[in-house]
Chain A
Amino acid sequence: MQGMTFIVKTATRLLVGIIFLFGVYITFYGHLTPGGGFAGGIILACGFILLTLAFGKDMALGKLSDFWASLLDNVGALAFWSIAFFGYTAGYFFMNFIEKSQPFGLMSSGTILFSNIAIGVKVFASIFAVFLALTIFGRFVSGLVNAEDEE
């Protein structure tokens, strides 16, 4: 049996959804309450790391493999750059080109929400990828290489 004990698995099953919800909330409401894309992304990555530690590497890699993690990292970076370049449609670089609604609403601040989402995706994927690279690549690499050589 991979992963940790039954107690840890049950607690993780209860907690991980709330952790993901909190990360998404912090990311989406970064322009209204304390938080932002960076903190939200790291909380999401914390949730995935908790899954990896509790259920073993197979389950976490099945949810989000290292290839998809690095792809999401690139997608987040490209999205942030493209938000910056879309500012040229209204005037200059990083122009806040989306019309603002009244304050204290979710869409009240134009591009800030989308920049937060892009940064959140980028940080989440990159921190999880670094965790994978530091733990799984080094730890299980001999078994993986041997299995590939035999094929």
Chain B
Amino acid sequence: MLFLFYSLLVFCIIGSIIAIEARNILASVISTGVVGMGLSIMFLFLGAPDIAIVQVVVEIIVLIILIRSTVSIDNTAITGHRDTFAILSSLIFFGLFLVFGFMAFRGLPPFGEPLMTISSQYLQNSVNDTGASNVIMGILLDYRAYDTLGEATVIFTAILGSFVVLRIRGKKKKEEADKVRVGIPISKELEASKKPEEVVG
């Protein structure tokens, strides 16, 4: 079991390294999908089919959207020199993260034995309390419904923002000039030199 997890982990790491190093953007996007698929298999073997379903479905849709929206864009490869300070500082912070992560994970119960009191309470009472035979849905939408509400609101706001930003074709008519000027105020000479048609267009 543990061997399977480690091999899947190595698989995910190799996929992400290929995704970083690949020159072709399509190959890079496809090899990013390795991480999600490996994670979903891990969730399935851990006994969490809910998260596995969500993981595999989101992975597929992200791949489709990324491929559809990046294939037509030209390849841009950065060829300039690398910033040594950025690499050094990120390496130092990564090492610090590893050290503190090791210290934090030593205090956790061993892998596969989450014998916490609250989870056993949920397992015993959730069918009587919520009526849902899937305990995860009972927790998500009854005990912890506030979390789900916040999550749904976050998704809603993100979709709203992306829809506004990506809509190149505005809802306003072209002739209708803005009543209030927003953004960085430009100097008076620049404003005087600009013709009104250009400002409107």
Partner-B contacts on A (CB < 8 A):
26, 30-36, 38-39, 42-43, 45-46, 49, 53, 70, 73, 77, 80-81, 84, 94, 96, 100-101, 103-104, 108-112, 115-116, 119, 122-123, 126-127, 129-131, 133-135, 137-139, 141, 144-145, 148-149
Q: How far is the CA of A26 from the CA of B69 in the complex (A)?
A: 28
Chain A residue nearest to B155 in the complex (CB): A126
Q: Is residue B96 within 8 Å, beta carbon to beta carbon, of the partner chain?
A: no
A109 touching B69 by the CB < 8 A rule?
no
A108 touching B133 by the CB < 8 A rule?
yes
In the complex, what's the smallest C-beta–C-beta distance from B84 to chain A, in angstroms? 36
Chain A residue nearest to B128 in the complex (CB): A103
* Residue in contact with A109 in the complex, picked from B57, B132, B155, CB distance below 8 Å: B132
Residues of B within 8 A of A127 (CB): 61
Q: Is the interface of B mostly helix, strand, loop or mixed?
A: helix
Specify which of B137, B146, B153, B167 lies most central, judged by the most chain A CB atoms within 10 Å of its CB: B137
Q: Is residue B166 within 8 Å, beta carbon to beta carbon, of the partner chain?
A: yes
Chain B residue nearest to A42 in the complex (CB): B57
Partner-A contacts on B (CB < 8 A):
49-50, 52-54, 57-58, 60-61, 64-65, 68-69, 72, 127, 130-134, 136-138, 140-142, 145-146, 148-149, 152-153, 155-156, 159, 162-163, 166-169, 174
Residues of A within 8 A of B146 (CB): 94
Residues of B within 8 A of A33 (CB): 134
Residues of A within 8 A of B133 (CB): 31-32, 103-104, 108
In the complex, what's the smallest C-beta–C-beta distance from A38 to chain B, in angstroms? 6
Known: A45-B61, A96-B131. 4 other contacts (CB 8 A): A35-B53, A94-B145, A96-B130, A137-B166
Q: How far is the CA of A106 from the CA of B56 in the complex (A)?
A: 26
A138 touching B132 by the CB < 8 A rule?
no
Query: A-B pairs with CB below 8 Å: how many?
Result: 141
Q: How far is the CA of A32 from the CA of B44 in the complex (A)?
A: 18
* Residue in contact with A34 in the complex, picked from B50, B138, B169, CB distance below 8 Å: B50
B138 touching A109 by the CB < 8 A rule?
yes
Can you name 19 A-B pairs with beta carbons within 8 Å?
A30-B137, A31-B137, A32-B134, A35-B50, A36-B136, A38-B54, A39-B54, A73-B156, A73-B159, A80-B149, A94-B142, A100-B130, A103-B133, A112-B131, A119-B152, A123-B155, A129-B159, A133-B167, A139-B72
